[in-house]
Structures are given as C-alpha cells and as structure tokens.
C-alpha cells in the first residue's frame, strides 16, 4: 500500500469506525461522520443534477441541438421556483400536479402488468393428482387466501376471517424467508467492511 493509499484508506477506516460508534451511543465522532457524509452527498448530488439534468436536458437540447420543444418542460421547471414568491406560488402547484399526474398515469398500466397480470399468469398452473399437483393446489389456495386478507369491504369474521388469517400466515412465511435472505446479504456486507479494516491495520502495523 502506497503512502497516499494508506492516507485515504486511513480516512475511510476512521469514518467507518465513527459510524460504527453509533452502536454504542450518539457521540461527536458519529455526528462528524454523519454531517460530513450528508454535506458531501448534497454537494455531489447538486453538481450531478446540474450536469445530467440542466446541461444534458436543457442547455444542450435547446441551445446546441435546437430542440425548441424542450422549452415547455423547462418552463414547468421554472414554475417550481415560483414557490418562493407569495404572489406566484400557485404556479408551482400546476407543475407539481403535472409531475405527479404523469407519474401516476404511467404507473397504472405498469402496475397492472407487473403486479396483477404477470402474477396471475404465474399462478395459473394445472391441478393434477401428483406431488406437483398438490404444490399447485397449495399455491393457488394461499394466493386466494392472501387476496382475502386484502379485501377491505368486509369485516374479517367467521369463515372469511379464517381464510384471511391463512392469508396473513402465508404472508408472514414469505416475509420470514425474505428476512433471512436479506440478513445474510447484510452480514456479507459487514464481513466485507471488517476485512477492509483488518487489511488496513495489517498494512499499518504489520501482521
């Protein structure tokens, strides 16, 4: 490890330890690391937005490529700034409404495709007198019970309540598996960080 690498890795190791110190309690080291990372991220993101949005989506298309229709969304963007004026603040609402309206409109068919049709398609499996058939039957039954749980027009009582309870147990079983899987991933990240610290200290003090 060169001296420069040692210095940079030293800073990374110090900040890692600062963040880990939060496990004990809030302290000045954590506050320093937190405010440093939030400040750097804010500055970095501002410049990134300037280059990827303002330069690439406004300056270059309008002034270099002559795409004048880009002026419309630019005006919408400028309207967002009118929030700072009491007289013109209402204009910012138009831009916000447009942004959220378009977002929702685009999302609706995509949700219908990804979260409804593709899921249904995958659930349609033939029922057979075999282990595979039993698996299919269980899958269809659990999907049905889970959908019962998300039925809001009827109180969950009696048979309907029992079925929706099966639905929530199904969900919990799925969440449990997902929890275990993700925790394993997080442990891998922790191990990676500990290896980084170990290698740094070995480079610094020798094995």
Partner 1 sequence: MIRFKIRLALILISASVLLLFGYISSPGQELEAPPEPLPAPPTNVVISDDPNDDGHTTIVSWQLSRDDGAGLNNVMAYEIFRSTSPEGEFLQVGVMGKGLDSYIDRGEKEKTRNGEPNPRYIGAGIDYYYKMRAKSTTGTYSEFSELVVGQAKNNWYHTGKTNIMIAVLIFSGLVIYFITAAKRGKELYVRPIAGIDAVDESIGRATEMGRPILFVLGTGTAADLATIAGYTILARVAKMTADYQTKVLVPVNEPVMLAVAQETVKSAYMEAGRPDMYDEQNIFYVTAMQFPFVAAVCGLMIREQTATNFYMGIFHAESLILAETGAITGAIQISGTDQLAQLPFFIAATDYTLIGEELYAASGYLSKEALLLGPVKAQDYAKVILLTLLGLAVITWSFGWGFFKSLISTIS
Positions touching partner 1 (CB under 8 A) are 19, 22, 26, 30-31, 33-35, 37-38, 40-42, 44-45, 49, 80, 83, 92-93, 96, 99-100, 102-104, 107-109, 111-113, 116-118, 120-121, 123-128, 136, 140, 143-144, 147, 150-156, 171-172, 175-176, 178-179, 182, 186
**Of 1 and 73, which CB lies nearer to partner 1 in the complex structure?**
73
- Please say whether the beta carbons of 22 and 32 come within 8 A: no
In this structure, which long-range contacts are made by residues 146-153, counting pairs with CB atoms below 8 Å and at least 24 apart in sequence?
A: 146/170, 146/171
**Residue 136 CA to its chain's centroid (Å):** 32
The CB-of-180 to partner 1 minimum distance in angstroms stands at 9
The CB-of-31 to partner 1 minimum distance in angstroms stands at 7
Nearest Cα neighbor of 31 from 19, 48, 13, 17 is: 19
**Of 30 and 200, which CB lies nearer to partner 1 in the complex structure?**
30
Q: Angle at Cα 40 formed by Cα 39 and Cα 43, nearest 5°?
A: 85
**Of 120 and 204, which CB lies nearer to partner 1 in the complex structure?**
120
**Of 51 and 186, which CB lies nearer to partner 1 in the complex structure?**
186
Give the residue carrying structure tokens 């290896």: 195
User: Of how many residues is the chain composed?
Assistant: 207
């Amino acid at each position: 490890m060169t001296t420069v690498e040692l210095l940079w890795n030293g800073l990374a190791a110090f900040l890692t330890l600062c963040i880990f110190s939060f496990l004990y309690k809030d302290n000045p080291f954590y506050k320093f690391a937190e405010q440093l990372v939030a400040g750097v991220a804010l500055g970095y993101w501002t410049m990134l937005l300037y280059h990827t949005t303002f330069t690439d989506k406004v300056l270059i298309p309008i002034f270099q490529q002559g795409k004048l229709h880009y002026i419309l969304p630019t005006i919408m963007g400028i309207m967002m700034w009118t929030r700072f004026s009491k007289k013109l603040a209402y204009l910012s609402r138009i831009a916000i409404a447009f942004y959220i309206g378009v977002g929702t409109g685009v999302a609706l068919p995509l949700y219908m495709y990804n979260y409804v049709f593709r899921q249904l398609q995958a659930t349609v499996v033939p029922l057979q007198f075999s282990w595979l058939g039993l698996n299919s039957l269980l899958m269809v039954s659990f999907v049905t019970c889970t959908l019962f749980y998300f039925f809001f027009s009827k109180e969950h009582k009696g048979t309907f309540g029992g079925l929706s309870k099966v639905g929530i147990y199904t969900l919990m079983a799925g969440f449990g598996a997902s929890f275990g899987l993700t925790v394993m991933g997080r442990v891998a990240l922790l191990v990676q960080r500990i290896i980084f610290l170990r290698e740094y200290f070995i480079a610094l003090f020798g094995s």
